[in-house]
Structure 1
């Protein structure tokens, strides 16, 4: 008979066993429990927030996403069906192009969902905003009948281009409001035009030097001219345009300042600082233009009939000529020039120029007419009187162009303004 006798374990072994079973103290265990409860509460809060968003989300978003997904699935299924079934080559190309267009439209909607016109409005506001001011001085010497203009400084220009730094300069134009334009406008009732607005003529033009890489350029350039025949300051205005010089393209107009001399007391030197405004065009003349389209021959007849301008002085050797160019469907034809005609208040040309047109339909067509003044007795540079643009764009059509397209093979004449 075996007798079991329990011997007490050593004290060292009991302490080691207790250490294995409970390696942490009560404080540590309570801390771990608190952290676990905190994480559980955070998870419950996140879950409740997701449920709230799912319940309050508008059904239109789900419908829009389902529509995009269905379009994508339909496109994929149709492309798979087109690969399995062989057809005519032209039909296959048309189906593939249609599918590519639909897929591109769906992807663009997916990546850029409709969010309103806030970005477009912001872009338009940035374009219309003009920064900077122009500081200048003006003075009229009554003894010598001399007008003196000094361009001092342009301040606060904003460099919007990241490709190159600003190279600003100032172009000055001394404008004369011709009363002849109003009188001639009242005498054109028989042509159905009614009274015309005031026409402007350029008496003098100057240009400052170019200051490179500066948003606050200092100029200090002084210009002067003698005004013997034009002392009526109520009809004289000074236009100063701040431009960014470009060697390989047209200069960018950053802003302008207009100063009517009749509203200022310039009998003594007067220094002014004006904010730059949005550039605007002035009416330098009017052109009676005739258009006729020949669809069978694919030709366009542009007739220059009359040009009405302002005469600041009578000159026997002054002549006008026009340069006309046509651009249709991104195909620019060679420009053509009219003959030089002696300049009058109403210069009569009565010339017709013929241009070839590309294949119809005409998605975009633009007719540009530039009128220049030249001297016939001596060699001199040509002077731009003004230019006009008539034609059809992708979004809209000019009124004259619409009348021409409705009256095929019939010349349609209409007055247009020359802008400077």
Structure 2
């Protein structure tokens, strides 16, 4: 059933605010500064008032994208008037963040749980590392409010979603929104696209530099963040493998050290390939991250390829390396669960 309860109320709206074109708040009539509005469950615009008694509650938070560090800071402030979920008329709420599209647990973050309250104040900042400008144009942040149950049956209270392309670089944006039950998937997917075509498995920070003095390509594996957990303990034992191909022989394969029990390993290792600069345009660098397992096959976490045939940030990184000799260029890349090769 798609029935929506309509709540009609009259109030004075801020003169400088306008409803979003996607907002469930529709203006029916205007008389001076007074507007008669219809509220469909919740308001999505952070400028508009929603009656808490008619909704699932409201959520205050702020978002800041720092371009230089490729970081998205999500400051979860507080919620008000949350729907009571427990027999005592209260709730044990926490916030869960999820970057969409992306079906992996590696893109999920969460706050602490606050007990016995419908008006929690978290004042907690959660950070996504390794987000590129390309990600900011196509990703949506989902913020879900849930009630923690001591028996493990956590219950969903409500959510809101923010298209990251609405954020301005290096400028904090504040939100005060009413929660919705579920935002239809169609509202966050580009027309004709599949939101879950490929699963994201984390991010990797790589550096490239062609040294004219050494006639070598220098490849740096700096660190990974938000890797998918492959072990029962909720972690992985990751290492990175890089292969320059084709026609580079055994010297083409390099591996980093193994980092134990972490989803955010730091390597800071550098590898070199003897190669003419003119030959680089014909090459491709395969990057793969693996979970080390003793006595059995290593588990593939995710990978990506850099080269002239790549796209987006992966192509741009390779092109900038070719164009700017003797200059180290660092870029974040998304790891996907496709096109993996053998870990040996």
TM-score band (shorter)? 0.3 to 0.5
Structure ranking higher in strand proportion: 2
TM-score, structure 2 as length reference: 0.41
Largest Rg, 1 or 2 = 1
Structure ranking higher in helix proportion: 1
